[in-house]
Chains A and B, each alone.
Chain A
Amino acid sequence: MSRTNRETFLRDLTPEIEKTGRSWYVVFALLLLVFIAGICGLIHQVDKGHIVTGMRDNVVWGVYIVNFIFFMGLSYAGALVSGTLHLFKTSWRAPVIRLAELITVISLAIGPFFIFFCVGRLERIPYILAFPRIQSPIVWDVIAIMTDVFGAAIFLFVSFIEDFAILRDAENLQIAPWKKKMFRILSLGYTGTPKQKKILTFSRNVMAAMIIAIAIIVYSVLAWIFGVTLQPGWHSTIFGPYFVIAAVFSGVGLLIILMAIFRKIYHLEKYITLKHFVNLGIVLFVIAAFFGYFTFSDYLTKWYGSVKMDKILIDKLFTEFRTYFIFANYIGILTPIIIIAIPRLRTIRNITIAAVIALLALWVNRYIIIVPTLETPFLPIQDTRHDWLFYSPTWVEWSLTAAGVAVFGMLFMIISKLAPIVSISELEEADEKLVNEPMKTRES
């Protein structure tokens, strides 16, 4: 039973690692161009100084920090979705779990670069490791993120071992010899003996539990970078959990989008079905509700009490930033809720659209957390220069933002050519469960 299944899985999932079509190269080249444009922006910035960005003395953090938080948030897809789905042994997780884990590792690898872009003296970054001061939330962050990157990478690798072994043993796989060699090395001699299986299962369970914990710590610490300051709008006790929820929201959103993309391009219709979209859609629904609740709670208390600085901030959000506010905190939250809540609307296309809107809205939500607060310091800004009063990102910042997205796409494209984007071992396990379960009920 399992043998024939494996052949089907291999036949369905491996063509993408055997040959590469022209369109792949075209898309890759386009992304590479975007990436190169970003590099040009970075060189320009290093050469001329941060004056080429839109940041000035009041708004000292801009799109870079927004991107940083955003990318770190995306990494939650892996932590929460694959971690919890794994721990709770959810039966439908098999085809999507690998995608979620990849999102985690790739976004974790990209996120910190935005901090580097934001730092005035790039060459002094090693000072954080050379002269760290543990009082600083940035140092907490460095420790937490490094732990998270390693943890997520180990979790990803451990979940890959079985697949590498399967690919190594697949005889009629038409792949380059170096790929075969890579599978042989990376499978670490795994042959599926009961002892090996036990060790692997144990490590995966431990890592799944650990990355959930680490991810919560990472994002709380990230929120505290803002929470520990006295700035109106940031100095909030709710920020830790609020950021965690926001991160899960964006992670699930991105997972749904990538599911839709890979389903279509790599012809995975058989594996990634409406059921997966609906199930993750429901996760998105629940998270959106929580996220909306946290957002409402945060702004309600600020607005109702109307402390002077909070009032100025809220007024700014409701006037200058009105469009952003409506998109981020009404449309972005209500769209997924409405689409999922009405069963008739639950199509793959609709759920994907909801996820896209949720993702974009979350980026804007981060933006209106960072920028308006910095535009409303305790002492009024007394300046005549427009760009010192109001922040607007420059092409340098946008080019680097686009480069970040491009690198994300490129890394995903490369990995999808090295190993199947859907975990074969997970599919097998899910299959075995289907076969075994009726027997179990018969026994009892």
Chain B
Amino acid sequence: MEKKVNDSSSRRKFIRRFGLGLGSVAVAGSAAVAAGSSGSGSGETVMLLSADGRLVEVDRASIRIAKAETREQRKKSHMGIPSRKFVMVIDLAKCKNARKCVDACQEGHMLPRDHEWIKIQLLQDSGMTGKYWFPKPCYHCDSPLCVSVCPVGATYKRDDGIVLVDNKRCIGCKFCMTACPYSARVFNWKDPEVDLPKDHVYDPELNVPPVEGTVGKCVFCADRLRNNELPRCVKACPMGVIYFGDLNEDAVTNGAETLRFSSLMVDRFGYRYMEELGTMPSVYYLPPVNRMYPVEIGFEDLDESVSDRYKPRETKKTAKTKK
């Protein structure tokens, strides 16, 4: 077994040295096994699937997680998590612009401060109606225009519903940004200059680090979903505004309570933003009725630069004189 792993890794080195992009030869995925080294086993064995598809039994103490490679990670990120169809529900009645989701997202994805993969907008549907806070991640549409227009396949839709961007492929044409009707995408206008951990491997599911001249957006925290964890914004929200779940299981959770998705949609009149555009988002909203907080509470404890955003839109002239 050990011999085999060594063999293939030396072969891989060989191929890499000669620059032949023949795809991954050896151990795909992230967990590989280096088994049976010395006698210091724990005595406890586990069953694992080897690279050639056989079930093997190894000692727990001798398992180490092999360092995955960028190419393999990128390839893996194209495969959705089997039999899942992820869905998000945002309860507008609970949101008070605490912005914890924004912070958690920026921290987790090493984003510059002015890069928001989840934005919180202050919306008002028409002059006489009430204002409400409107968290807006990427909608991971089932009919995503951004994916259709990408000339190089840098952005793709997986069978678990997630739309990802591979920033090692992205050429930065920004066509996806003009195609997205929800302005969900952001562009890295300059080098973001992030300090990466030493052994960091690029994976589109986390999409760190942001690369200058490429497009980034919310990834539904696909990396955490792989480990059966909730997305960062869901976890960070103190109000439990954001529910996340699986359409196949018909269940969504905000970490505190788990609800049946279908009955939630029926009972609370769930809707998708701008359904009429036909993009079929995977993000549903619950209308901002019977609100727990007045909308003004969202202006408390905000940076001036943030609270100024929500003031009535300036015209070009006044904005210029201000500048």
- Give residues in A with beta carbon < 8 Å to B: 48-51, 55-58, 60-61, 115, 118-121, 124-125, 127-128, 130-133, 135-139, 142, 225-226, 228-231, 234, 319-320, 374, 377-384, 386, 389-390
Q: Is the CB of B183 within 8 A of A58?
A: yes
Question: Within 8 Å of chain A (Cβ to Cβ): is B274?
Answer: yes
Question: Within 8 Å of chain A (Cβ to Cβ): is B174?
Answer: yes
- Give residues in B with beta carbon < 8 Å to A: 119, 121-123, 136, 145, 148-153, 169-175, 177-179, 181-183, 185-191, 211-215, 274, 277, 305, 308-310, 313-316, 319-320, 322-323
Q: Is the CB of B322 within 8 A of A386?
A: yes
Chain B's nearest CB lies how many Å from the CB of A128? Answer: 5
- Kindly state the separation between the CA atoms of A211 and B212 in the bound complex, as whole angstroms: 39
Q: Is the CB of A382 within 8 A of B310?
A: yes
Contact for B171 among A51, A60, A119, A379, CB less than 8 A: A119
Check A118/B274 contact, CB under 8 A, given A132-B152, A379-B182.
no
Residues of chain B within 8 A (CB-CB) of A319 are 315
Write the chain A residue with the least CB distance to B191: A49
User: What are 18 A-to-B residue pairs whose CB atoms are below 8 Å?
Assistant: A49-B212, A61-B174, A124-B172, A130-B152, A131-B152, A131-B153, A132-B152, A135-B149, A139-B151, A226-B178, A228-B148, A229-B145, A374-B178, A379-B183, A380-B121, A381-B313, A382-B310, A386-B320
- Kindly state the separation between the CA atoms of A217 and B43 in the bound complex, as whole angstroms: 71
Instruction: List the 8 shortest-distance A-B pairs measured between CB atoms, nearest first.
Output: A120-B172, A120-B213, A49-B190, A138-B151, A51-B190, A136-B151, A60-B174, A121-B213
Q: Is the CB of A133 within 8 A of B152?
A: yes
Check A60/B315 contact, CB under 8 A, given A120-B172, A131-B153.
no
Q: Is the CB of B151 within 8 A of A133?
A: yes
Residues of chain A within 8 A (CB-CB) of B181 are 229-231, 377-378
Q: Is the CB of A118 within 8 A of B175?
A: no
Write the chain A residue with the least CB distance to B178: A229
Q: Is the CB of B190 within 8 A of A48?
A: yes
Residues of chain A within 8 A (CB-CB) of B172 are 50, 119-121, 124
8 further interface pairs, Cβ-Cβ under 8 Å (given A124-B169, A234-B178, A382-B310): A50-B172, A57-B187, A120-B188, A124-B152, A131-B169, A138-B151, A229-B178, A382-B122
Residues of chain B within 8 A (CB-CB) of A133 are 150-153
Write the chain A residue with the least CB distance to B322: A386
Q: Is the CB of A378 within 8 A of B323?
A: no
- Kindly state the separation between the CA atoms of A125 and B173 in the bound complex, as whole angstroms: 9
Chain A's nearest CB lies how many Å from the CB of B111? Answer: 13
- Kindly state the separation between the CA atoms of A127 and B154 in the bound complex, as whole angstroms: 10
- Kindly state the separation between the CA atoms of A121 and B190 in the bound complex, as whole angstroms: 11
Chain B's nearest CB lies how many Å from the CB of A391? Answer: 10
Q: Is the CB of B314 within 8 A of A389?
A: yes
Write the chain A residue with the least CB distance to B277: A230
Chain B's nearest CB lies how many Å from the CB of A296? Answer: 25
Residues of chain A within 8 A (CB-CB) of B322 are 386
Q: Is the CB of A136 within 8 A of B187?
A: no
Contact for A229 among B150, B179, B310, CB less than 8 A: B179
Contact for A389 among B182, B211, B214, B319, CB less than 8 A: B319
Contact for B214 among A51, A121, A135, A320, CB less than 8 A: A121
Contact for B189 among A56, A115, A135, A230, CB less than 8 A: A56
- Kindly state the separation between the CA atoms of A136 and B151 in the bound complex, as whole angstroms: 5
Contact for A231 among B119, B148, B178, CB less than 8 A: B178
Check A60/B182 contact, CB under 8 A, given A120-B174, A380-B313.
no
Residues of chain B within 8 A (CB-CB) of A135 are 148-149
Q: Is the CB of A60 within 8 A of B177?
A: yes
Q: Is the CB of B149 within 8 A of A136?
A: yes
Residues of chain A within 8 A (CB-CB) of B170 are 120-121, 124
Chain A's nearest CB lies how many Å from the CB of B85? Answer: 22
Residues of chain A within 8 A (CB-CB) of B212 are 49, 120-121
Residues of chain A within 8 A (CB-CB) of B152 are 124, 127-128, 130-133
Residues of chain B within 8 A (CB-CB) of A320 are 315-316
Residues of chain B within 8 A (CB-CB) of A138 are 149, 151, 173, 175
Residues of chain A within 8 A (CB-CB) of B174 are 60-61, 118, 120
- Kindly state the separation between the CA atoms of A389 and B314 in the bound complex, as whole angstroms: 9
Chain A's nearest CB lies how many Å from the CB of B8? Answer: 27
Chain A's nearest CB lies how many Å from the CB of B273? Answer: 8
Residues of chain B within 8 A (CB-CB) of A386 are 319-320, 322-323
Residues of chain A within 8 A (CB-CB) of B121 are 379-380, 382
Contact for A57 among B122, B186, B309, CB less than 8 A: B186
